[in-house]
Amino acid sequence: MKYVMYAIVLALSVPLYSQEIRLDSLWIKMGGYPVMAFSPDSKVLVLGSEILEPVKGAIRFFEVETGKQLDSITKISFIDFGFSPSDGNLYIVTTTSIDVYDKQRMLVRRMPYTKGGLLSFSPDGSLLLMTGEGKIRLVKSENAEVVREITRPSSYKGSNNQDIPFNNGRVNFNSDGTLLYGKNAEEFGSWDLTKANTPFVRKMTIGNRAVIGFTPDNRYMVQQSNYIWDLNTKTQVQIEGKKDFDRNYAIGFTSTTSSQIIVTLKEDPEPLTLHVPLFIDISKKRIITTNPIRYYTTQMLLSNDSNYLVRQLGSGSVLLNKVQWSTTTIQDEINTNPSVSISPIPGKESLQLYIHLRQASPSFDVKIHDISGKYIETLYSGSVELGEQRYTLDTKSYSSGKYYVVLSNNGSIQSYPFLITK
Residues 304 and 322 occupy one common structural domain:
yes
Distance CA(136)–CA(409), nearest Å, equals 58
Q: Rounded mean pLDDT of 18-35?
A: 84
pLDDT band at 301 (very low <50, low <70, confident <90, very high): very high
Residue 392 belongs to what domain range? 2-12+330-420
For residue range 128-144, what is the model confidence (pLDDT) as tens digits?
999 987 899 999 999 99
Whether residue 279 sits in one domain with residue 341: no
Report pLDDT for 82: 96
Tell me the mean pLDDT in the region 82-104. Answer: 94
C-alpha distances in Å from residue 143, one per residue of 66, 87, 113, 171, 409: 36, 15, 9, 22, 62
For residue 213, the model assigns a pLDDT of: 92
Indicate whether 223 and 307 sit together in one domain: yes
Q: Which of 274, 293, 326 is a domain's end point?
A: 326
Question: What is the share, in percent, of the chain residues with pLDDT greater than 90?
Answer: 45
- Beta strands at 387-394 and 375-384: parallel, antiparallel or unpaired: unpaired
Which of 45, 103, 105 lies closest to 74 in space, CA to CA? Answer: 105
CATH number for the domain spanning 380: value is 2.60.40.1930
Pair (179, 270) in one structural domain = yes
Beta-carbon contacts of 100 under 8 Å, excluding residues fewer than 6 positions away, are 89, 90, 91, 92, 107, 108, 109, 110, 111
Instruction: Identify the band that residue 188 occupies on the pLDDT scale cut at 50, 70 and 90.
Output: very high
pLDDT bracket for residue 273 (50, 70, 90): low
Bridge-based pairing of strands 35-38 and 17-30 is unpaired
371, 242: one domain: no
Q: Residue 263: name the closest of 325, 172, 205 by CA.
A: 325
8 and 128, same domain (yes or no): no
**Secondary structure in 3-state letters for 197-210:** CCCEEEEEECCCCC
pLDDT at 1: 36
For β-strands 289-290 and 17-30, DSSP reports them as parallel
Give the pLDDT of residue 12: 34
| For range 258-278, the mean pLDDT | 79
Confidence (pLDDT) at 4: 38
**CA-wise closest residue to 49 among 40, 62, 39:** 62
CA dist 365 to 73, 340, 354, 379, 414, Å?
Answer: 54, 14, 14, 8, 11
Of the residues 283, 303, 326, which one is the last residue of a structural domain? Answer: 326
The proportion of the chain whose per-residue pLDDT surpasses 70, expressed as a percent, equals 88
Q: Tell me the per-residue pLDDT of 373-400, one tens digit each, with 9 for 90 and over.
A: 789 999 999 998 876 778 889 999 999 8
pLDDT for position 248: 60
Task: Report helix, strand or coil for 7.
Answer: helix
Mean pLDDT of the chain: 84
Q: Are residues 264 and 291 in the same domain?
A: yes
Q: What is the number of other CB atoms lying within 10 angstroms of the CB of residue 160?
A: 6
Q: How many residues does the chain have?
A: 422
Q: Are 119 and 46 in contact (CB under 8 A)?
A: no
In DSSP terms, 298 is beta-bridged to none
Q: Is residue 289 predicted with pLDDT exceeding 90?
A: no
Count of C-beta atoms within a 10 Å radius of residue 136: 23
Instruction: Give the residue, 274 or 306, on which the prediction is more confident.
Output: 306
Q: What is the CA radius of gyration of the chain?
A: 24
Helix (H, G, I), strand (E, B) or coil at 11: helix
pLDDT at res. 160: 84
CATH code where residue 262 lies: 2.130.10.10
Per-residue burial over 387-404, b = 16 or more CB atoms within 10 Å of its CB, e = otherwise:
eebeeebebeebeeeebb
Q: In this predicted structure, what is the pLDDT of residue 89?
A: 96
69 and 176 fall within a common domain: yes
Amino acid making up residue 181: Y
Find the range with the poorest average confidence among 205-209, 262-266, 294-298, 305-309.
294-298
Give yes or no: residues 368 and 275 share one domain: no
Res. 104: pLDDT tops 50: yes
**pLDDT at residue 412 in the model:** 77
| Phi/psi-derived region of residue 117, left when phi > 0, alpha when psi is between -120 and 50, beta in every other case | left
115 and 244 belong to one structural domain? yes
The average pLDDT across 108-117 equals 94
| Confidence at residue 389, expressed as pLDDT on a 0 to 100 scale | 79
Instruction: Reply yes or no: is the peptide bond before residue 54 cis, omega within 30 of 0.
Output: yes
What is the total count of domains within the chain?
Answer: 2
CA-wise closest residue to 166 among 130, 193, 116, 205? 205
Which among 357, 362, 351, 368 is positioned nearest to 403, based on CA atoms?
A: 368
- Examine the domain organization and report whether 255 and 204 are in the same domain: yes
Say what the pTM is: 0.72
Could you report the per-residue pLDDT of 324-379, keeping only the tens digit for each?
887 544 333 344 567 777 877 778 888 888 787 767 888 889 999 988 778 999 99
Q: How confident is the model at residue 19 (pLDDT cuts 50, 70, 90)?
A: low
Residue after which a domain boundary falls, among 307, 326, 345:
326
pLDDT digit string, tens, across residues 227-256: 999 998 999 999 988 887 766 666 789 998
Query: Both 316 and 337 in a single domain?
Result: no
Tell me whether the omega of the peptide bond preceding residue 346 falls within 30 degrees of 0, making it cis: yes
